[in-house]
Chain A
Amino acid sequence: AIQMTQSPSSLSASVGDRVTITCRASQGIRNDLGWYQQKPGKAPKLLIYAASSLQSGVPSRFSGSGSGADFTLTISSLQPEDFATYYCLQDYNYPYTFGQGTKLEIK
């Protein structure tokens, strides 16, 4: 199975900060990667698909980049509602696998 390694596992930041989260695959996965935001008690919400495509309805401060094995999620200017846990997901091949998550907390 492809391993997805996210970093950092937690991050403290302030409103207005620019934040970057990375995800590294144990092998190349083309651009078959999604980024998700999850808040407590809720299902994950798709932010980015195909590594860099913004899901409909998601604010433009979210962006994704990368291809192959290295990917990043960037939030250009943190808003209060962005404090949550973020996950990457590869759907390049089976079994699909998630990163372990990055918890974004208020500084």
Chain B
Amino acid sequence: QVQLQQWGAGLLKPSETLSVTCIVYGGSFSDYNWNWIRQTPGKGLEWIGEINHSGSTNYNPSLKSRVTTSRDTSKNQFSLKLSSVTAADTAVYYCARGSKGLSMDVWGQGTTVTVSS
């Protein structure tokens, strides 16, 4: 059974860089797209971006200038970095496995990130 486990710093100051990593247990890593989503009370669920099965990235234009996603296939891990954070980036961040036509079927447990001075 495929599981995603994620971790990252929970408290950041404005202007710092958010970093969250997700490790994939079980299943194929290279055959899927790996997504990042965040959830805030005010804006609901927001797709941040993905790194796909070929290593290409796609980002939400609303965050594109600050987002970087990467992967390490040898460790079955993928990561999110979001630079220059502000209070508006306070959210629960999720990683999720995706596949075209199959939506996002496996999710991490979520990482709560708070941005506060």
Contact = CB atoms under 8 A, between A and B. Distances in A.
A and B: interacting chains: yes
Interface of A: 1, 32-34, 42-46, 49-50, 55, 87, 89, 91, 94-98, 100-101
Contacts of B104: 34, 46, 89, 91
Contacts of A1: 61
A43 B109 contact: yes
B60 A43 contact: no
Given A43-B108, A95-B62, A50 B44 contact: no
Interface of B: 35, 44-47, 58-62, 94, 96, 98, 100-105, 107-110
Tell which of A32, A33, A91 has the most Cβ of chain B within 10 Å: A91
A33 B28 CA distance: 23
By DSSP majority rule, is chain A's interface helix, strand, loop, or mixed?
loop
A50 B62 contact: no
7 contacts: A32-B100, A34-B103, A49-B105, A87-B44, A95-B59, A100-B44, A101-B44
Contacts of A46: 103-105
Contacts of B96: 43
A41 to B, nearest CB: 8
B100 to A, nearest CB: 7
B109 A91 contact: no
B98 A55 contact: no
- The 5 lowest CB-CB distance pairs between A and B, nearest first, are A34-B103, A43-B107, A98-B45, A95-B60, A96-B47
A43 B110 contact: yes
Contacts of A33: 103
Contacts of B101: 32, 49-50
Contacts of A96: 35, 47
